[in-house]
Amino acid sequence: MDPILLARIQFGANISFHILFPTITIALGWALVFFKLRYRATQDLKWMDVYHFWVKIFALSFALGVVSGITMSFQFGTNWPGFMERVGNVAGPLLAYEVLTAFFLEAVFLGIMLFGFRKVPGWVHTLATVLVAGATTLSAFWILVLNSWMHTPTGFEIRNGVVHATNWMEIIFNPSMPYRLTHMLLASGLTTAFLIAGLSAYRWLRNDRTPAVLAALRFGVAVAAILIPLQILAGDMHGLNTLEHQPQKVAAMEGNWETGPAKPLILFAWPDEATRSNRFEIGIPYGASLILKHDPQGVVPGLNDFAGQHPPVAPVFFAFRIMIGVGLLMLAVSWIAAWWLWRRGDPHPWLARVLVGMTFSGWVATLAGWYVTEIGRQPWLVSGVLRTSEAVSAVPAAMIAATLAAYLAVYALLLAAYVATLFLLARKGAKPQTIETGPTSHPTAFVPAE
């Protein structure tokens, strides 16, 4: 097999697995801060119950994020040596600042957050929780700065084929960064909101209907209902930004081959690169022109203007539709659920089942969105500066294939264990708390809060 494709699949598999966990921990960290602050404000113990349940899931997600992140720091070099050799002068400082300002902060204070509840004063513990949440967000900031720069590079010059930084403010605040960062942080918020709502609905369905479970359920649904319209707005603005800087990516997302006015919004089609046309196309007339140009006669760029320079169409086209589809589903479910909970207080069993079904919907949308933007950047690794094919390593294809198989096996196993453990914890949350602190049991990891 082609070593470039293998290296991309391997890196893509690793980064896809990795992103699942930060997507949860970035927002879940702030949710934990919220639970703690609610407790301090109300002295209602249900908020500590909510905190103690979700901090376990935070710890588990964080551990998976950390270990899969270590893999990333090695694979930059093993899979894409050309990346650091050519653009390392920009990428290097951004990655270094992520490690220095975020990784140590979150790692050290996570220890205090998880194990120090009885060892430090309450305010120090709350401060540790804030620092962990802040550090995860800071980490997202640095990595999204770098990723955005790869899409819309600014603030550099090329000397002897190597990129040199000339203006760090332009590099950090590159044109797509504010949109991408907002879009990703909201994605994290939505992923966590649906996770909290889903697992809480699961507990509610199993007759675990304590005030803590209901509080978490309401929290998840409310956050989802508030964030989803903001996300649709942010996504639209991000798309317009992409249209300005990477029109070929938008053309692939829309499945639009010929540049022209009055383009339809294609709901479904089978893009065929061989014939450079769509089969089975179903579309809404003027839709794409309206969305992208806010004018039914607006001229929308097509793929044929970028022949040989545009990304593979089908994966971008379908991933985009999956993301949008899940987003619309999130809108419908969260608003219906919010309305129902507001009017009735308790969820209907059917509503609870739908929420359980949506537990990991954020993962699907987030991954689909990342595939749109990353595959959409091809054939470039850094837009207009470095081609993916120029950065690939000389490691033999057979070796990449063998290690890829090993990684995939590990990731499949861990993903299954993670999801199973989440639902197991949800079932355990239902147990009366006194059983596990009984005098006969030896010290256990499941000693709940007093």
Partner 1 sequence: MFDDPAVWLPVAFAALMGLSILIYVILDGYDLGVGILFPIARPEEHDRMIASIGPFWDANETWLVLAVGLLLVAFPVAHGAILSALYLPVTVMLIALIMRGVAFEFRAKAEAGWKPTWDRIFFAGSLLTALSQGYMLGLYVMGLDRSLATVGFGLVTAVCVAAGYTLMGATWLIIKTDGDLQRRAVRRARVALVVTMIGFAVISVVTPLVSGRIFDRWFSLPEFLFLSPLPLMALVLATVVWVVLANQPHARDRFSWVPFAGSAGIFTLAFFGLAYSFYPFIVPDRLTIYAAASAPESLLIILVGALVVVPVIVAYSAFSYWVFRGKATELRYD
By CB under 8 A, the residues from 95 to 134 that bind partner 1 are: 95-97, 99-101, 103-105, 107-112, 114-120
307 belongs to the binding site for partner 1 (CB under 8 A): no
**Least distance to partner 1 from the beta carbon of 364, Å?**
22
Give the residue among 252, 171, 211, 189 at the shortest CA–CA distance from 30.
Answer: 189
CB nearer to partner 1: pick between 146 and 313: 146
Please, which of residues 344-373 interact with partner 1 by CB under 8 A? none
**Rounded CA separation 359/419 (Å):** 10
Number of residues counted as binding partner 1 (CB under 8 A): 76
Q: Of 99 and 233, which has the nearer Cβ to partner 1?
A: 99
Q: How far is the CB of 75 from partner 1 (least distance, A)?
A: 9
Alpha-carbon distances, residue 143 vs 133, 177, 328, 390 (angstroms): 16, 10, 28, 22
Closer to partner 1 by CB, 40 or 348: give it.
Answer: 40
Q: Which stretch binds partner 1 (CB under 8 A): 88-96, 247-255, 284-292, 367-375?
A: 88-96
Q: Which of residues 36-65 bind partner 1 (CB under 8 A)?
A: 52, 55-56, 59-60, 62-64
State the Rg of the chain over Cα. Answer: 23
For the CB of residue 328, give the shortest distance to partner 1 in the complex, in Å: 34
What tokens were used for 259? Answer: 């540049």
Contact residues for 74 (Cβ-Cβ < 8 A; gap 6+):
none
Closest approach, Cβ 95 to partner 1, in A, equals: 6
- Interacting residue with partner 1 among 44, 85, 170, 281 (CB under 8 A): 85
The residue among 95 and 193 lying less far from partner 1, judged by its C-beta, is 95
- List the Cα angle 322/30/338 in 5-degree steps: 55
Distances (CA, A) of 110 to 104, 195, 317, 397: 10, 21, 40, 39
Nearer to partner 1, 78 or 259 (CB): 78
Considering only residues 185 to 204 of the shown chain, the ones binding partner 1 according to CB under 8 A are none
Q: Alpha carbon of 165 to those of 35, 83, 109, 258, 387: distances in Å?
A: 42, 15, 33, 37, 19
DSSP 147-208: HHHHHS--SEEEETTEEEES-HHHHHT-TTHHHHHHHHHHHHHHHHHHHHHHHHHHHHHTT-
Considering only 20, 26, 32, 90, the residue that binds partner 1 (CB under 8 A) is: 90
Torsion of CA 308, 310, 312, 317, to 10 degrees: -150
- Smallest distance, partner 1 to C-beta of residue 121, A: 11
**Amino acid identity, position 65:** G
Among 92, 260, 349, 384, binds partner 1 (CB under 8 A): 92
Q: In terms of CB distance, is 131 or 227 closer to partner 1?
A: 131
| Window 391-430: residues binding partner 1 (CB under 8 A) | 393-395, 399, 403, 406-407, 410, 414, 417, 420-421, 424-425
Instruction: Between 67 and 328, name the residue whose CB sits nearer to partner 1.
Output: 67
Shortest approach of partner 1 to residue 256 CB, angstroms? Answer: 39
Nearer to partner 1, 95 or 145 (CB): 95
Segment contacting partner 1 (CB under 8 A): 91-99, 206-214, 273-281, 334-342? 91-99
Toward partner 1, which CB reaches closer, 7 or 354?
7
Q: Where are the alpha helices (DSSP H) in 358-436?
A: 361-375, 388-391, 397-428
Q: Which of residues 65-84 bind partner 1 (CB under 8 A)?
A: 66-71, 73-74, 76-78, 81, 84
Structure tokens at 49: 């119950």
The smaller minimum CB distance to partner 1, of residues 121 and 308, is found at 121
2, 40, 164, 431: which one contacts partner 1 (CB under 8 A)?
A: 164
Q: How far from 83 is each of 44, 69, 104, 271, 321, CA to CA, in Å?
A: 52, 18, 25, 31, 30
Of residues 286 and 418, the one with the C-beta less far from partner 1? 418
Q: Which of residues 216-245 bind partner 1 (CB under 8 A)?
A: none
Instruction: Name the segment binding partner 1 (CB under 8 A); options: 140-148, 261-269, 295-303, 388-396.
Output: 388-396
CB atoms within 10 A of CB 22: 24
**Shortest separation between residue 322's beta carbon and partner 1, angstroms:** 28
Element (H, E) at 347: none
Q: How far is the CB of 394 from partner 1 (least distance, A)?
A: 7
Helix (H) or strand (E) holding 358: none
Q: Which residues pair with 265 in a beta bridge?
A: 284
3 state DSSP class of 336? helix
